Structure formats: C-alpha cells, structure tokens
C-alpha cells in the first residue's frame, strides 16, 4: 500500500522534475552570456544551471518511465553497503517508532508556524506578546499523545500558560540584551 | 610529526581556561541532552547553535559546535537503550541490541558499553583526524579546478546514493541543492541568476536560514505529524563499563573505528551509515552472529564505536578539502565560513594550528561524554522525557529568531519557512535532506571550479578526464551512477556475495 502510494507520488514527482528542469534550462539559455565583456561561452553564468536543468529532466524522466513501466522499486537500495544497512534498518525499526502520519497535526502545526513567522512577525505586533501567544496556542492545541484537536485539559492549560510567557521572555532577553539583535 | 604534537599541545593548553572549559563541557552536555531527545537531530542542534554563537570569537564558537556535535551523536544512545527510541538517526543501530539488553535487566551494562564504544571510537577518530588531515591537505595542494569540480560532484552523488533508499531521489535532492546555491549573484562575474529583479534574491539564499529550515522547521513538522505514547524509563543498574567487555571485543572496536572513520571521510554519508556499516560488518564476522538483535554486547559496541568514530572522520575532508563528510559537518563547514575560517587545502599552509585546535576540541568533548555518560544518566533521561509537543514549538521560535538574527531581515525567516516546508514535503516523498544540504554547501565550489577549469582549458573538456586524480574521481562518479542500473547492480551484488562466501569463513577462523 505504502509502495503504491509512493509510486503514484513518483509519477507526480517525475512530472514536476521534468517541468522544473525545462524551466531551468530555458532560464539558463535565456541568460546573458556576457559576450560583450569578451567572456568565453563555456564560462557563461548559465552553464551550470543549464547542466543541472538537463540533469533534472533526465532523472525526472527516469522516475517517470520507471513508474510507467512498473519497474521501479522505491525502496530498492543502491549499493552493497547500503543494502545491508538499509535492510537492517528496515527490519529492525523499533516498535515505538512505528508512528502513524497524521496530516491534521501537520496542517495545524504548519498553519500556526507560518502565521507566526511568515505573517504576523514584523507586522507591528510586539515580539514578546506574539511569541508567547504562538507558544501558548501550539502547546494547547497539539499534544503528542492526542488526536487533533487535543482535548483541552486544565493540566495542559496550566503548562501552556507557564511555559509560553517564560520561554518568550528568555528568548527575547537573550537575543535583545546578549546578542544585541533588534527584534522584529 | 613533532610540529603536530607541539601544535596539539598548544591547542590543549590554550583551551585550559575557565571560559573555554565551561563552553566545551556545557556544549557537550547540551549536545548529549539534545541527542537524548527524539526529534532533535545533531544537525538541528549545530544549526541552531550556529545562529546562537555568531557573536562569539571564532575559536570559541567552533569549540561549542564541535562539542555539541559529538555530544549529540553520543546522547541518542541513552534513549535507544532505555526507551527503544534512537535520539538521533545515528543511534538506530544501538536500539537493536541495547534495548534487548535493557529488557534483560542489563541496561546499566548496555549504557556502559555504549559510553565505552563512543569514547574509544571518538579517540580513534581523533588520532586519524590529527594524522590524516595534514596528509590529505598536502595531497590536496596538487588539486586544481578540475579535481575540485569532481570532488564536489562526487560528494553530492555519493551522498544521494548512500543516504537515500532510492538513489535517484537522493541525486535529485542533491542537484536541487546545487541549483539553489547558484541563485543570486554568481562568484565569477557577479551576474544575478534567477533573481527576477528581486533585491533579496539577488543576494542569494542565506546558507544558515536554508539549513535551519531544512533541519529545524521540517523536523518540527515531522515530529508534529506523529502521535507517540510517552515512554517510561525502565530501571537500570550501574553504567560503569566493564574492562572485560572492552578487552574481549578489541578487534570489533578497532574494526568499527576504522569503518566509522572511513565512512565519515566519504563525502556526505554520515554517522547513521557508519553505525549500520560497523554493525553489519561485526555481525558478518562474529563468532556469535545469532546473538545479534537479541542483546549482543559486540553488536552494541560496534554500532556506538562506528557512529562516534565517524564524527572526527567527517571533519577530516571538511577541513582538508572543504568537502563535508556528513550533513552536520556541512553545517560546521558553513559556520567556519561565517567565522572567517577558510577550510580547504590552504588551511594547513595558512592556519595549521586550527586543525589541531579542532583535535583538542574533540578531545574535550570526549572527556565530557565520558563524564556525563557515566554520572548524569538519570537527570539526562528526565530531560529527555520533556514532551515533544512542548519542545517543538520552542525549537521553532529559535528557528525563527535564529534565522532573523543573522542579518536582521525578514527575508531570511521566509527563506527558512519556505525551505522547511519544501524539505518536509520532499522527505515525506522519499527525498533525503542530507544530499540537498551537501549540494547547497558544495554548489559554489562546483560552479566556480567547473567554469575556472573551462577557462584554463580554453573550453576543452579533456583535462577533466585526462589528469590522473581527475580521472579517478570521474570514474568514481560514473561508477556510482552505473552501479545503479538494475542489471549492473545485480551483477555487483552477485560478485560481492561470491567473494564474501569465500573470504568470510577464513576471517572467522582467524579471529
């Protein structure tokens, strides 16, 4: 099941790599070759990106073709050394590690992080208040043993209420007073 | 040789002051604590510490980073043994026998073995670091643009090949790193590539914000994507190592040390592969292979010796060639560049003392590991039990402020967020982060040296293949690619099995 999902992702991945490679090659080709400065064509700025673009197209195509032909085994290890190592790793992954992927948890965590770091930071809100609010919400809404949204408990509320302002204060003072950073 | 010893002595004496000792042991303890915490990788610790040590003196900043690096690789063995959760990827091999020993009531003994293995492995690697870095540096003095181009390419290709379960994806990740490194003003003619008129992009992506995103933010998302029951610590006895365990398995220790250093030297391969390779080799050559996975002292010793030996091993090419041996070394190299230390062949000519300073740093961290490993077990494990749902948002706050503090611009925070998200998605789809980072660090070297080589040869490609060292490196790159063609790969495996079937019985008899 996992392998089928990965193969399907490989198909999309292959297409993305090929499209990206074509865009990179086009960008490299269209780049100024600085001939007016008497620079040899082989050392033009677009040479390396162009070669990388070709590599993206070739490897992306292999990914795609391998998927289409069904020949690819996404988990097939490469070298003798890695065969043994990967086999050992796969065979013996501890039970405690077999965790299920929960996309809701990722989505919520990502949303909180991006809202804090990408949207609100630098928008005029005070750094301490913003950081403390982010930490409070993240700790409150995401517990590692719980499903999303985490069931609110007094204990978690207290932990979040204590940890969030304390960490925000320490981080702010450390960077502002010791590292002399002008906070956003 | 004598000069080296004198410089090493000077380095040790130079660090024998309260500030340096506090920094060394404090950073080692921080590394061990972080290593204990599942979800905090050694690379993440060094990346975050790089942003925190920017204002420090270069030697003190590097001291902190090296000690934290070594401590983190060791620290993961605690939780691997007691909780069956490797603190870092490098300690996954230690779970196999360490946890089994703990279940048999021998957790203290297992931790003693892990500590001994880590200390002996690091000391072995340290000797190799002191001996081989100057040698490699001397050889590298004869390297020209052609050789450095191939070395950079080999680093990315080899990392992609070994780190990824699917080499094709490893290479794509590595090439993406090379591409990202090329965005902004290039090094030869200051031409702006793929900046689209954006002033921030014209300066290129900062190495540290990208690294913080790749190993910090993506790690936060990875950890938050999983639900995990909070583990309970089981009881353990004395962690003091037994001399007999060390003496009985001296061959395994020595062999694992050699493997660890060698894997460390290989560009971009890393500590986890060193641990697995040492473990697999020890099992193959063991007189008691049936005990592996059921609580083998030898297996645990091999894994822990291998991963810690690869730490100094990975620093060797980083110092001598400016080609990092692993992802944490790539960050270390980036930190050196930020602090004005120019690693590479000229380091032994211009600043040979620095190499021995690093050797002394590794020595201090090893002493720290021995101390904290034997006497600080219980408090360390209490810290390791801090819920990750509390730890991860704090890590993210540090990722944000660490990226911002580099040059006080929000673009670096957006860079961190963007690359963190990208690497998270890539990792979910089987594209490893290590080759991407290697590509990022080596991108400039590859770009400049390819074009410099073409200038020197007047556009002729022949010198890239006709010079002896270039030819060897080119063959290695080509070999890495072609051995992944299914038919050739199968033939190589058949050949390896045939050779092993002949050689192994003889080796087992002799040991």
- pLDDT digit string (tens) for B37-85? 766 778 888 888 888 888 888 889 999 999 999 898 888 888 788 777 7
Closest CA–CA distance from residue A149 to any residue of chain B (Å): 12
Domain spans in chain A, listed from the N-terminal domain onward: 2-97, 103-178
CB-based contact A184 B388, cutoff 8 Å: no
Beta carbons of B161 and B480 less than 8 angstroms apart = yes
CA R_g for chain B: 22
The string of pLDDT tens digits covering residues B378-393 is 777 677 677 888 888 9
| pLDDT reported for residue B163 | 74
Continuous segment of H or E residues that includes residue A160? helix A154-173
| pLDDT reported for residue A4 | 63
Question: Taking 50 as the threshold, does the pLDDT of residue B252 lie above it?
Answer: yes
Confidence tier at A90 by pLDDT (50, 70, 90)? very low
| pLDDT reported for residue A95 | 42
Show which of residues 117-136 on chain A sit within 8 Å of chain B, judged by CB atoms. 117-118, 121-122, 131, 134-135
3-state secondary structure of A32: coil
CB-based contact A59 B194, cutoff 8 Å: no
If we measure between CA atoms, which residue out of B152, B59, B64 comes closest to residue B340? B59
Confidence tier at A52 by pLDDT (50, 70, 90)? very high
Facing A43 at nearest CB: one of B226, B398, B454: B454
Beta carbons of B36 and B384 less than 8 angstroms apart = yes
B53-57 contact pairs (CB < 8 A, 24+): B53/B335, B54/A179, B54/B338, B54/B405, B54/B406, B55/A179, B55/A180
Pick among A2, A5, A92 to test the B interface (most B CBs inside 10 A): A92
CA atoms of A29 and A47, how far apart (whole Å): 8
DSSP conformational letter for B183? S
Confidence tier at B186 by pLDDT (50, 70, 90)? confident
Assigned token pair, B436: 């991407």
Question: Taking 60 as the threshold, does the pLDDT of residue B429 lie above it?
Answer: yes
Q: Which residues of A touch B52 (CB under 8 A)?
A: 179
Q: Which residues of A touch B54 (CB under 8 A)?
A: 179
Averaged pLDDT, B145-159:
89
Between B172 and B197, the higher pLDDT residue:
B172
3-state secondary structure of B184: strand
Closest CA–CA distance from residue B346 to any residue of chain A (Å): 25
First-to-last C-alpha distance (Å) of chain B: 33
Continuous segment of H or E residues that includes residue B494? helix B486-510
What rounded mean pLDDT belongs to chain B? 86
Q: Which residue of B has its CA nearest to A123?
A: B410
Q: Which residues of A touch B273 (CB under 8 A)?
A: 81-82, 85
Beta carbons of B149 and B456 less than 8 angstroms apart = no
Question: Taking 60 as the threshold, does the pLDDT of residue A50 lie above it?
Answer: yes
A38 shares contact with chain B (CB less than 8 Å): no
Between A144 and B345, the higher pLDDT residue:
B345
Q: Which residue of A has its CA nearest to B457?
A: A42
A152 shares contact with chain B (CB less than 8 Å): no
If we measure between CA atoms, which residue out of B329, B344, B325 comes closest to residue B211? B329
Averaged pLDDT, A23-32:
93
Vertex A56: Cα angle to B450 and B442 (nearest 5): 40
Beta carbons of B308 and B104 less than 8 angstroms apart = no
Show which of residues 45-64 on chain A sit within 8 Å of chain B, judged by CB atoms. 45-49, 52, 55-56, 59-60, 62-63
Facing B221 at nearest CB: one of A42, A106, A179: A106
Facing B166 at nearest CB: one of A76, A81, A84: A76
CA atoms of B120 and B129, how far apart (whole Å): 14
Phi first, then psi, for residue B142 (nearest 5°) are -85, -5
CA atoms of B200 and B148, how far apart (whole Å): 29
Facing B280 at nearest CB: one of A74, A88, A117: A88
CA atoms of A135 and A171, how far apart (whole Å): 12
CA atoms within 13 A on the CB side of B448: 14
**pLDDT above 90 as % of chain B:** 26
Q: Give one word for B228, left, alpha or beta, with left for phi > 0 and alpha for psi -120 to 50.
A: beta
3-state secondary structure of B300: helix
Tell me the β-bridge partners of B311. Answer: none
The string of pLDDT tens digits covering residues B228-247 is 665 565 666 666 777 777 78
Confidence tier at B406 by pLDDT (50, 70, 90)? confident
CB-based contact B394 A142, cutoff 8 Å: no
The string of pLDDT tens digits covering residues A108-118 is 999 999 999 99
Residues 6+ apart with CB under 8 A from B110: B81, B97, B98, B101, B102, B300
Closest CA–CA distance from residue A24 to any residue of chain B (Å): 9
CA atoms of B109 and B295, how far apart (whole Å): 11
Averaged pLDDT, A28-48:
87
CB-based contact A144 B489, cutoff 8 Å: no
CB-based contact A117 B400, cutoff 8 Å: yes
- Range with the lowest mean pLDDT among A83-92, A156-165, B167-176? A83-92
3-state secondary structure of B266: coil
Show which of residues 80-119 on chain A sit within 8 Å of chain B, judged by CB atoms. 80-86, 88-89, 92-97, 99-103, 105-106, 109-110, 112-114, 116-118
ipTM, 2 dp = 0.84
A142 shares contact with chain B (CB less than 8 Å): yes
Beta carbons of B69 and B32 less than 8 angstroms apart = no
Q: Which residues of B touch A17 (CB under 8 A)?
A: 172
Facing A105 at nearest CB: one of B95, B225, B447: B225
Vertex B125: Cα angle to B124 and B130 (nearest 5): 100
Inter-CA distances, A57 with A8, B113, B281, Å: 18, 49, 38
If we measure between CA atoms, which residue out of B208, B202, B105 comes closest to residue B437? B208
The string of pLDDT tens digits covering residues B8-33 is 888 899 899 999 999 999 999 988 88
| pLDDT reported for residue A85 | 44
Confidence tier at B413 by pLDDT (50, 70, 90)? very high
Question: Taking 70 as the threshold, does the pLDDT of residue A3 lie above it?
Answer: no
Question: Taking 80 as the threshold, does the pLDDT of residue A82 lie above it?
Answer: no
């Amino acid at each position: 099941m996992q392998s089928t999902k990965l193969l399907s992702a490989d198909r999309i991945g292959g297409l993305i790599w090929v499209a990206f490679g074509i865009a990179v090659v086009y960008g490299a080709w269209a780049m100024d070759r600085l001939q007016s400065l008497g620079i040899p064509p082989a050392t033009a700025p677009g040479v390396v990106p162009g070669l990388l673009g070709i590599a993206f197209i070739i490897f992306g195509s292999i990914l795609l073709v391998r998927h289409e032909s069904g020949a690819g085994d996404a988990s097939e290890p490469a070298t003798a050394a890695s065969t043994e190592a990967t086999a050992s790793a796969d065979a013996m992954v501890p039970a405690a590690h077999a965790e299920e992927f929960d996309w809701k948890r990722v989505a919520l965590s990502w949303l909180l992080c991006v809202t804090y770091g990408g949207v609100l930071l630098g928008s005029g809100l005070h750094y301490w208040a913003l950081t403390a609010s982010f930490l409070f919400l993240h700790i409150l809404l995401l517990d590692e043993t719980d499903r999303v949204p985490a069931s609110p408990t007094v204990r978690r509320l207290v932990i979040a209420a204590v940890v969030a302002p304390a960490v925000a204060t320490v981080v702010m003072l450390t960077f502002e007073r010791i590292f002399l950073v002008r906070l956003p | 040789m004598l000069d080296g010893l004198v410089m090493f002595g000077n380095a040790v004496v130079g660090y024998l002051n309260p500030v340096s000792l506090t920094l060394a042991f404090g950073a080692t303890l921080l590394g061990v604590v972080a290593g204990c915490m599942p979800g905090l990788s050694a690379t993440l610790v060094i990346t975050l510490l790089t942003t925190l040590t920017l204002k420090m003196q270069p030697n003190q900043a590097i001291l902190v980073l090296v000690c934290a690096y070594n401590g983190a690789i060791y620290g993961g063995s605690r939780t691997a043994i007691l909780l069956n959760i490797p603190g870092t990827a490098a300690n996954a091999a230690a779970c196999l026998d360490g946890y089994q020993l703990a279940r048999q009531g021998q957790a203290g003994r297992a931790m003693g073995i892990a500590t001994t293995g880590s200390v002996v492995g690091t000391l072995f690697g340290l000797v190799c670091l002191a001996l081989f870095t100057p040698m490699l540096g001397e050889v590298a003095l004869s390297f020209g643009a052609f050789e450095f181009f191939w070395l950079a390419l080999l680093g990315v290709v080899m990392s992609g090949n070994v780190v990824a379960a699917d080499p094709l994806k490893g290479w794509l990740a590595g090439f993406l790193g090379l591409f990202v490194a090329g965005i902004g003003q290039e090094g030869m003619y200051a031409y702006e590539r793929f900046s689209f008129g954006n002033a921030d992009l014209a300066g290129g992506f900062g190495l540290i914000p990208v690294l913080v995103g790749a190993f910090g933010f993506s790690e936060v998302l990875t950890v938050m994507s999983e639900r995990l029951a909070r583990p309970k610590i089981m009881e353990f006895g004395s962690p003091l190592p037994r001399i007999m365990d060390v003496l009985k398995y001296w061959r395994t220790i020595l062999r694992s040390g050699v493997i660890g250093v060698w894997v460390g030297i290989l560009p971009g391969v890393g500590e986890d592969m060193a641990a697995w390779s040492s473990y697999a080799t020890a099992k193959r050559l063991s007189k008691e292979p049936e005990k592996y996975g059921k609580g083998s002292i030898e297996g645990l010793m091999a894994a822990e010796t291998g991963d810690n030996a690869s730490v100094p091993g990975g620093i060797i090419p980083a110092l001598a060639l400016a080609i990092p041996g692993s992802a944490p070394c790539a960050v270390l190299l980036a930190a050196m560049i930020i602090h004005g230390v120019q690693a590479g062949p000229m380091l032994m000519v211009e600043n040979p003392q620095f190499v021995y300073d690093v050797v002394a740093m590794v020595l201090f961290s090893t002493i720290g590991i021995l101390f904290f490993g034997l006497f600080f077990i219980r408090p360390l494990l209490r810290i390791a039990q801090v819920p990750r749902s509390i730890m991860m948002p704090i890590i993210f706050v540090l990722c944000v402020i660490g990226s911002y503090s580099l040059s006080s611009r929000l673009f670096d925070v957006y860079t961190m967020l963007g690359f963190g998200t990208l690497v998270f998605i890539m990792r979910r789809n089987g594209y490893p982060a290590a080759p991407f980072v290697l590509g990022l660090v080596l991108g400039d070297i590859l770009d400049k040296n390819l074009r410099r080589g073409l200038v020197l040869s007047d556009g002729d490609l022949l010198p890239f293949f006709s010079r002896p060292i270039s030819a060897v490196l080119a063959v290695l790159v080509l070999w890495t690619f072609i051995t992944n063609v299914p038919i050739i790969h199968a033939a190589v495996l058949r050949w390896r099995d045939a050779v092993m079937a002949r050689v192994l019985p003889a080796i087992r008899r002799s040991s």
